[in-house]
Each structure stands twice: as C-alpha cells, then as structure tokens.
Amino acid sequence: MSLPSHFKVILASPTAKEFVSLREKVGWQGVAISEVETSLTNSLFHVVIYDGSVLVGMGRVIGDGVMYFYIQDVVVDPDYQGLGIGATLMAQIESYLSIEAKKSATIGLLAAKGKEAFYARYGYVSRPNTSLGHGMCKFV
C-alpha cells in the first residue's frame, strides 16, 4: 500500500513538541521537553510522516550503532491508522537497518500490547520462545 501524495515522508527528527503530542495521542505518558530533546538528538535514525504540516507518524532507531539497535517510538496518530503509515515507517527503518546493522548485530524492540503481529511481518519474533527468555524492562 502506498501513501497518498499529500503525505510527506522525511528522514528527520520531529520537534520535541510534535514528539510529545503524538505520543500523548496514543495514550503514552508525557515526557519533559528537555528530556525529549536530548533523547531525539542521541538517536541513530529518524523517520517522520506529515499530512501537510501535521505530524501523523514517526519512528526512530536508538542504540550503539554497532552491536545493538532498538526500534523505538513507532507511533501513528489514531486518526490516521490503517492507511499504511506504520508500514511506510517500518520500510524506512528496515532500509536503514539493512545498511547499518552488520551480520552480528542485534535488533530489538518492545511492541505495544496487541501490535506483535505488525512487527512479526518484518521478521521480529516474540519472546519467550525455544531459544530466548522473556524480554524485560524497568520503568523509573
């Protein structure tokens, strides 16, 4: 599915305010703008999608750029879901990773509940499985 021509796909970071606003639209917790600015600056890769001047989708890759890459903040405005925006974001992310992540690298992500099948389309496997234990995280 290709996006309508009025959507713009840009390999750039959203502004901190756009980032916070889009996260809030999907029910994710708010974050201080100063923390967002630092986090966005320290990311390895960004992709954003605009409908005119409105941010409707974003995704990024974080990590050390050698051994570990983590897909982070793949978010689509609920009013725009089902239009192929998530698939377009992932196509851009996968293109970046196909160049930057060498054979021995690990690419990880934390799927939002119910979104596991979306990432499985790109070859990501759920944990636990026969060779990997549960993924874990800690919120502070």
CB 8 within 8 A of CB 21: no
Segments making up each domain of the chain, as ranges = 7-120
**Could you read off the pLDDT of 8-45 as tens digits, one per residue?**
999 999 999 999 999 999 999 889 999 999 999 999 99
Classify residue 37 as exposed, middle or buried by CB count within 10 Å of its CB (0-12, 13-18, 19+).
middle
Residues of the chain by 3-state class (helix, strand, coil), percent to 5: 30, 25, 45
Q: Helical H runs in the chain?
A: 16-25, 33-41, 85-100, 116-120
CATH class of 7-120: alpha beta
Distances in whole angstroms, Cα of residue 67 to Cα of each of 64, 90, 104: 7, 20, 7
Q: Which residues of the chain have pLDDT under 70?
A: 1
Predicted local distance difference test score (pLDDT) of residue 30? 84
Length of the chain: 140
Cα separation, 132 vs 77, in Å, equals 32
Predicted local distance difference test score (pLDDT) of residue 1? 65
